[in-house]
Amino acid sequence: MELRQADQQRQRWRSLIAQEVLADPELLALARLCGIREVVAFALGAFVGDIKRFGAPKKLVKYVGLNPAFDDSGQSQWSGGIGGHGNKYLRCLLIEAAHAILRGSKTPLARWGKKLLAAKGSVDLAVAAVARKLTVAVWYLMMGRWTPVEEVDGPLSMKIGKMISSVGQDGLKQLNKTRKTYRTEIVQSLKTARIYQLKAPPQNDQSSKAKADSALSAITEKMAQRYGLTKAMLRFLNS
């Protein structure tokens, strides 16, 4: 009976977390990244708070404790592993997400991690490296420096379905929604509720601006491919 009650409590909290994430456009946007669903997104919102506190991706990486370790004390010098001095709860969740990416994802980030694993022969090193790159992507996405969603692909659609399942039938009844209407609202929120802006530095002439836009497009496409976004998400805002 105690185990049954504990499981019911767990399901209830999972439902509430899923509802919070699905209702918040900034948290929902994090689900665009491979390896991130409602629990990790909720934890990022809870622990990170205002992303503007972190002026650069490396500052968020250090806050999480995924920055490379370094020790030059004494006569020897050593670097490797992770610092591990940041937020251990958030670090554990991102490490878990990295494990999931390496296990089942076919994204470029997963392939990069598997190549690193083959080269170094260390699972811990490869997982930490993938988690670190995922944290960098989180910074850019939370800052709104990404491409807008124009269509939802299969993997993201499946992820949305799993998050709705986490809400559960009781949660849907409390929200007075059906799965179909809820899914429609979530997709609409992904497409329109967040504003993304990729700003190029000011240029003196049109040719320089065109070159800057082209370079920015190439960088963003590379990032989007690495972190598991779809081709449809690679289009920029025209503004």
The model's pLDDT over 177-212, given as tens digits with 9 standing for 90+, comes to 999 999 999 999 999 999 898 764 455 545 555 655
Amino acid 104: pLDDT:
81
Amino acid 140: pLDDT:
95
Q: Confidence class of residue 232 from pLDDT cuts 50, 70 and 90?
A: very low
Give the residue extent of every domain in the chain.
Answer: 2-234
The model's pLDDT over 9-65, given as tens digits with 9 standing for 90+, comes to 999 999 999 999 999 999 999 999 999 999 999 999 999 999 999 999 999 999 999
Place of tokens 């992770």: 82
Amino acid 219: pLDDT:
56
3-state SS class at 40: helix
- Burial class, 91, CB count within 10 angstroms (exposed 0-12 / middle 13-18 / buried 19+): buried
The model's pLDDT over 204-229, given as tens digits with 9 standing for 90+, comes to 545 555 655 565 566 556 555 655 55
